[in-house]
Structure 1
């Protein structure tokens, strides 16, 4: 399956948390958390359309200023999602600067902020450079099942976790993955052209299988006879569940958090999950409301993910990166019986 998205941690595992998900076939990206963003070049930050904040501890939100500075002076809209209090915090952050020159800019930067609440309700408001970033267009809404973004073939869901304060974990989901097998196209004498994208869109919209499409290369006239979507599915199309990427950080290892994480990350292709402490420091992890490396691996195994990628290692364990990764991988690979025997 040809991937459509490329997820990568912004920093090494001992650095600030952050995940950058690049769209391989569109000039777009989604960013999870705003820690130190220095490793991301301007061209990558300008691709960002949506930012998902787990919580606003400084190592997860200090990068807000860099995003703001890069977006100013450009016609750009960015959507930001976060937990209770994020609207007030963004508003205060914007109000901390003097904006006496900004109204002379010929461009408009708009930041639309959605504040999530544990009961499924949310508040949304926008801040425009044209109006000196005053809060406007505020609305109340409900977000069933924690879905913060649902557009076309993309969905982003959030769930609340406990980290002494509320903290959000996210799942980025491609609803369906549609691929053409180019060798089959050639065998059947079907051309490559814009009609392929049209077929993909029709499948993602749920068009009936008897819908006719007319294969033609760019600039060619439409052929007299068409193909049904059902026939294309049989001969040249692969339609499978889409890619899923889960992002989990800063959470206590409680029964409720465990249930929510496993439900959110179920069958993910990638689980990016904090592994802050070695398991020998499990009491310290509990006191700090963080996960140990073994706990991260257990959660990945319970969720049935394909890959687990740990991050947010504590500086306490500098020099022990290999051991942290080993603990995660052993727990991820362990059977329930092995886990019980290891205590």
Structure 2
């Protein structure tokens, strides 16, 4: 696995997912509730905070992150639903920033608000300006929900209904290009930096006639003559779905976002027998979570956000999710 996700507070605590990827210095936070399980060195790696919605259990931990970042040279991307920049503004303005001229390190948060429509609003907050809100050019909405790239990782988002807009997320790694060492040896070609150009051309879908420089002093060869040296495999994909009502519209959006996910983190707050209560609270049941995972074709299911009312029945909720998904319980 290249993606290494971790639920921050188990299956019953504040929702939150920490994601790091091999060879990538910056980490991702999906939701920002209780962050006490993350060490300062981990929080200082955060380059993207994507918040599903502003209920307290998804958002209360931001101040701990902020406190660690003051005095650091950082630009952090923030993604949230409509109106989220205003919420961040008021959070930041709860503090006094009259001494920021003594802090040379540039700290900035850049917020993208995901909402229906042709464009997504963007806003920047800089420490040097006392975190005043500065509108940025809006970002054209993309049909597949792609919001941004963080290194080799792509973030997609979709709007769900929780009585308030709540975002679901997918984090996807770029495809892998693996080099066949045996095929290099058979053609008398060495490993080395020149392979980066070959990999980049393959990932970019360059035409077969694209010249690829060789390290041996020989003339460049066309990409088509070198394709057999590499194999392309899909990158890893995970999805994160929390705080959504069990409606047909929500299911359709959730399934599309989680399609073929290698790992699906999905809320399952209420037992199947408590469907009426789940509907009133606009959450999923274990059965709904399992059915969404099944219909999305997720390879691995990680249910979470279990209600405290089932404190001694976590195994029951877990079993109901996997039964609805038509899967055996994992060992």
Q: State whether TM-score is above 0.5.
A: yes
Partner residue, 2:173? 174
Partner residue, 1:162? 161
The structural deviation recorded for 1:142 is 2.9
Question: What is the SS of the residue equivalent to 1:21?
Answer: strand
> Is contact 1:274–1:296 with CA below 8 Å preserved after alignment?
yes
Structure 2 residue 230 is matched with structure 1 residue 230: no
Partner residue, 1:332? 325
Q: Distance in 2 between matches of 1:149 and 1:186?
A: 39
Q: Distance in 1 between matches of 2:189 and 2:2?
A: 23
Q: Distance in 2 between matches of 1:198 and 1:123?
A: 36
> Is contact 2:114–2:159 with CA below 8 Å preserved after alignment?
no
The structural deviation recorded for 1:93 is 0.4
- Bigger shift: residues 186-195 or 308-317: 186-195
Structure 1 length-normalised TM: 0.88
The structural deviation recorded for 1:79 is 0.7
Count of aligned positions: 326
Q: Distance in 2 between matches of 1:281 and 1:327?
A: 12
Unaligned runs of 5+ in 1: 217-221, 335-343
Structure 2 residue 94 is matched with structure 1 residue 96: yes
Q: Distance in 2 between matches of 1:42 and 1:285?
A: 36
Partner residue, 1:246? 239
The structural deviation recorded for 1:50 is 1.4
Q: Distance in 2 between matches of 1:39 and 1:189?
A: 51
Partner residue, 1:72? 70
> Is contact 1:115–1:124 with CA below 8 Å preserved after alignment?
yes
Partner residue, 2:302? 309
CA gap of 1:251–1:214, structure 2 versus 1, over 3 A, is: same
Q: Distance in 2 between matches of 1:100 and 1:308?
A: 48
Question: What is the SS of the residue equivalent to 1:115?
Answer: strand
Partner residue, 2:50? 52
> Is contact 1:191–1:215 with CA below 8 Å preserved after alignment?
no
CA gap of 1:215–1:82, structure 2 versus 1, over 3 A, is: same
Q: Distance in 2 between matches of 1:277 and 1:186?
A: 57
Question: What is the SS of the residue equivalent to 1:281?
Answer: helix
Question: What is the SS of the residue equivalent to 2:117?
Answer: coil
The structural deviation recorded for 1:281 is 1.4
Partner residue, 1:338? none
> Is contact 2:198–2:223 with CA below 8 Å preserved after alignment?
yes
Q: Distance in 2 between matches of 1:152 and 1:101?
A: 33
Partner residue, 1:219? none
> Is contact 1:262–1:300 with CA below 8 Å preserved after alignment?
yes
- Bigger shift: residues 57-66 or 120-129: 120-129
The structural deviation recorded for 1:182 is 4.2
> Is contact 1:103–1:129 with CA below 8 Å preserved after alignment?
no
The structural deviation recorded for 1:194 is 2.0
Partner residue, 2:201? 202
Unaligned runs of 5+ in 2: none
Question: What is the SS of the residue equivalent to 2:34?
Answer: coil
Q: Distance in 1 between matches of 2:321 and 2:225?
A: 45
Structure 2 residue 274 is matched with structure 1 residue 281: yes
Partner residue, 1:14? 12
The structural deviation recorded for 1:8 is 2.0
Q: CA RMSD in A?
A: 2.0
